[in-house]
A and B are shown apart, each in its own frame.
Chain A
């Protein structure tokens, strides 16, 4: 078990290095932050001086080495746009993104699972057909469009919910939460629905497919033969077994939600990491971009690690030593 985990962690580190390297390579194409930091009337000498100040005059590999050295110590430098330490910025923004992501994931589970179950049990009802068709729309509609529609309806026409921002927040130590104020909760509704739309459709389709499969298995038939009620069979036996793969997918979806919150955060001016990143891209704010990409890489690596370990626990075949598997 330990060897397995260590191997996985080593692989994770390798992935992180590659992510960092590719990210850094890309920065050569995002442009020159100095052009945005200095006014047009600055002279060439001013620009050269600023470039030296930022270490941008050094070659790519030297910049990368400096970055790695500092990153290992948790220092990602100073944001060129905001003039503040990147690590502080990220810690400040993390709660907003996590609250939004968790809420979106909850919506995905609490709406997606019942809908999946329903469509599996009542395959031919018109409600099921309608839900399946809508879910197709949900999969294919871009995220920002859903967001804009919701803003138009609930903020502009009905005036019920705010169109942007996070409302009032309460600071609990290092964690700033919007869950404890009325305006914070109101502000959370539209963005979390927007971000949760895709997971809802994915989970619903997955649950439906799995459930249809499980309902055909022998033990369900036996359960019915034993004279158990439909309810017991469907929920005690079928649903339970359906949920195992769903939990895995849901875990991976959480990573995707965090990473793809960028669009939703931009549409709603949600002050999370995604918004920080998108503004960094426009400003060619290299330290922020580097830190963000590494962080998202880290989140994925960790989720994968946890999922792998769960498999290891769940699936006995993985525990067999490799040498004994050979032919």
Chain B
């Protein structure tokens, strides 16, 4: 009997039929905005187009860099990277892929109507060496070239020329471009049809060079704006996967045997920033001076905020409290510095009294209300915690379309921000968030409280051209250490993002919040 069972089990393993090809129907709140891979630099759009188009280098399941359209690469000199391209790759229209397409794509992504210039920061041009060899030339050493290139999807030169889409959509024109509603990539899925706000369909590419690990032969993306309806559609089985279930539904979804919830950490840090530049805060009761310039005030506030309470009470467990500005997946993450201290009210009160604010003060905390998980609630919780040291916080929450223009103009005294690191390299966070701002450059362009420390700047500037991984990690740690000691910002947590799906679906959860159908299996 036992033997029979074992035999039966073995037979099942050996003779288990290959999984039948299935359709993956998935949904989230908003729609994909365009099919042009250089048209709109937005998470969902990039994620979907990653099925159809491919970059030179990809990321694997652990988000490590792996060959894609480039088979290998080598630094010729500090400003030239040479790529050997994958042979025998064809675009979906049948035309062969070659170095010309790479040169063209770099040019297109650098053109004035492109939204992808940030991913080519430092890149001057691409040069064809032969049909399957291409060189990318940079202004100076660009250590993050490969991570950046994972976001630049390769288009066909011939196709773009034929359909007159040599440049991404120009909003001054009255016509939409061909490339915004059609697609021709080299990726595992072929674009089939699209109806804005209804559905977008792609089918498996039988001529793909790679190996499809999953069994999804068709992907149908259908946006559903209303949270409740999206969930209802998942429960009723009309869709298989929801990328963004609302946090308050997670507990209930976990109870449902038909539904599976997969959680993973996103590489996004939520933190608070304080105006440390102005001599008088714009939105505060303190006149004639700026309390945030005093490190003791910043430290007092940090000691008054209980990150674990925010995690359990506001985030329903969906956060990982932190003391640093970028996540463990990011190269250069200073593990030894990421120690979340227990809140210490006594110390906080002492510090703020030493600074001369025993009576406290009033300040306005600007906060988005539709950008990050529970963003406004976090701000309200922070306000409650700070009231214990007599800092009266008025929460000023607003939609992101209004919030970002406001804080981008430094029109804030105290704000909340979330920062993702798509390059997975610390430089991206350090340069934008912590380095002293230089207008019109990436330096400090999101250092909205204008924290400034020359030693930090020094380390970051070295980081920008250092190519050696170990030295880079040391520099990132150095900058982080000083910043943590200065309490330049108050880091809160990394977001944990839950994905909900029917229980017969298995996926690979990525910190980039991208669903990749090539790895999805449906029973």
The residues of A with any CB-CB pair to B shorter than 8 Å are 29-47, 49, 53-55, 75, 77-78, 80-85, 88-89, 92, 144, 148, 151-152, 155-156, 159, 162-166, 266-269, 271, 275-276, 278-279, 282-284
Contact = CB atoms under 8 A, between A and B. Distances in A.
B229 A269 contact: yes
Given A32-B401, A35-B408, A163-B236, A151 B171 contact: no
Contact of B225 (A40, A78, A275, A284): A275
B198 A44 contact: no
B445 A43 contact: yes
A269 B225 contact: yes
Contact of A80 (B41, B171, B432): B171
B115 A39 contact: yes
Nearest to B405: A32
Contact of A159 (B112, B224, B236): B236
Given A78-B173, A152-B232, A37 B115 contact: yes
Nearest to B118: A41
A148 B445 CA distance: 43
Given A36-B400, A267-B229, A282-B399, A84 B176 contact: yes
A54 B445 contact: no
Nearest to A44: B440
Interface string B397-430: 0011111110010000000000110000000100
Interface string B139-162: 000000000000000000000000
B229 A275 contact: no
A282 to B, nearest CB: 7
Given A46-B117, A83-B34, A269-B223, A38 B171 contact: no
B226 A43 contact: no
A151 B115 contact: no
A301 B235 CA distance: 43
Contact of A53 (B172, B403, B439): B172
B446 interface: yes
A78 B176 contact: yes
Contact of A276 (B197, B236, B399, B441): B197
B40 interface: yes
A276 B30 CA distance: 11
B68 to A, nearest CB: 21
Interface of B: 30-31, 33-34, 36, 39-42, 112-113, 115, 117-118, 169-177, 180-181, 195-199, 222-226, 228-230, 232-233, 235-238, 370, 399-405, 408, 419-420, 428, 432, 439-442, 445-446
Contact of B419 (A29, A33, A40, A49): A40
Contacts of B31: 82, 279
Contacts of B370: 282
Nearest to B46: A39
A78 B170 CA distance: 9
B401 A35 contact: yes
Contact of A271 (B171, B197, B228, B439): B197
B30 A279 contact: yes
A278 B176 contact: no
A275 B195 CA distance: 14
A84 B401 contact: no
Contacts of A29: 402
Contacts of B446: 40-41
Given A37-B40, A75-B174, 11 more contacts: A31-B404, A42-B117, A55-B172, A77-B174, A80-B171, A82-B196, A83-B40, A83-B171, A275-B197, A279-B31, A282-B370
B41 A38 contact: yes
Given A32-B401, A152-B232, A163-B233, A82 B33 contact: yes
Q: Which of B172, B197, B199 has the most CB of A within 10 A?
A: B197
Given A31-B399, A83-B36, A269-B224, A163 B176 contact: no
Contacts of B170: 53
Contact of A156 (B173, B236, B403, B428): B236
Contacts of A53: 113, 170-172
Contacts of B225: 266, 269, 275, 278-279
A39 B222 contact: no
B442 A43 contact: yes
A272 to B, nearest CB: 9
Query: Most chain-A CB neighbours within 10 Å: which of B196, B224, B237, B419?
Result: B196
Contacts of A44: 408, 439-440, 445
A245 B199 CA distance: 43
Contact of B34 (A82, A85, A144, A152): A82
Given A33-B401, A40-B419, A275-B197, A164 B229 contact: yes
Given A35-B404, A47-B408, A163 B174 contact: no
B347 to A, nearest CB: 34
Nearest to B407: A35
A170 to B, nearest CB: 13
Contact of A282 (B173, B176, B401, B442): B401
A228 to B, nearest CB: 52
Contacts of B238: 155, 162-164
Contacts of B236: 155-156, 159, 163
A54 to B, nearest CB: 5
16 contacts: A31-B399, A31-B403, A39-B42, A40-B420, A41-B428, A42-B117, A83-B33, A83-B169, A148-B232, A155-B233, A159-B236, A163-B233, A266-B225, A275-B225, A279-B30, A282-B401
A283 B401 contact: yes
B396 to A, nearest CB: 14
Given A42-B118, A78-B176, A164-B229, A31 B112 contact: no
A263 B236 CA distance: 22
Contact of A166 (B115, B176, B198, B235): B198
A163 B196 contact: no
Contacts of B420: 40
Contacts of B237: 159
A283 B169 CA distance: 18
Given A40-B419, A89-B196, A282-B399, A83 B229 contact: no
A90 to B, nearest CB: 12
Contacts of A144: 226
Q: Please list the 3 inter-chain residue pairs (A to B) with the smallest Cβ-Cβ separation, ordered nearest first.
A: A31-B401, A35-B404, A32-B405
